[in-house]
Structure 1
Amino acid sequence: MKKIIITIIIAIFACNFQAQAQNCNQGAKLAEKTWEKWGPWKPNITLIPFKAEVQKIKNVWNWIAANGGATIGPRLLELDGGNESGNIAGQTKSTFVTPPSFDDRVEITINKYDGRAKTGVVICVQGRDGVTTQKASYEFPNDRNGKVKKFTLNNVRGKIIIVAMKNQSVGNKFKYRINGKKK
């Protein structure tokens, strides 16, 4: 009997630890690959060729997701590009990565419009130097009420923004819309 109780306690601890383990690691790896592709950030780069490069990468990501049968891995969040939406099932996560920002100030908006899952959010930035810094965190509560949370990020010019969301529930879902806009 003691063995069973100890096993249950360990299992509960492990589940809670996994649910709380929230970070930007998955997005940071993609950010590093992005920096390898683009090289050093040049603040005087013009927006038109930059947007064309972003569109090429977005097309490749969309092709991989469509032909791979899943949306595993980070997805592109284009700043001022409209809403992305999704559904995070129990104990899974979604990560979004932006291209380097042209603006010092960006607002990330997450709209929980359905589902009951308690869901943690961590927002980080990564500069060309490879240093990833956490800028914000938040936890959507376990309730059915829709909720909109806005995050204003300062000093993000030339940095990639990473948004990681993890559903901390076992059986509940988290339906959301997310967007990023220059402020």
Structure 2
Amino acid sequence: MASSLASSVTSLQSSLQLLDNSITTLDSGVNDFPRLCKVLQTTRHFELLPEPTLREAQQSLLDEITPSIAHLLSLASNHVERLLRREEGLKAKCDLQEGRLSSKSEGRASASRGQNKSSSAMRGQLAGPGGASTANAASKAAELRRLVQKKERLKYAVDRLELQSTQRERQLRKSMAAQ
């Protein structure tokens, strides 16, 4: 019986040793478990959304932005109309000022013409009937030059205002894009 008891004790000791080795192996595996959880944990860098959700978000964003864009466009168009009215007012003022200047110069010219009337009449008599037509043609040529210059000034002013208008539209688009 001593031999069967000794074999039971050795069998029990080998079982305890095997159990101790298993515990040591499990302990070494479990000791690293928090680090493994951290390493194996997945991090979502980009979230994938279904297409209908994406469309709904786009539509809600569009619904939110559309009134603001319409308001800004109406403000811009009002401002452009105001600038156009101002431009026309300035053109009319320019025409009025030029008319006043030309009437003053014509008034001075008519006064000098009154003084020189007798001398021009004498020259007309001496030159014959063609002398008056050359003076008339010269005044028409001067008037034509003045009108051409006025046309060029107005064309330049219109081009400048159009350029300013396009620059302001560009700035408005940039500010709308930045928002």
- The normalised TM-score by structure 1 is 0.25
- The normalised TM-score by structure 2 is 0.25
Higher-Rg member (1/2): 2
Greater share of helix = 2
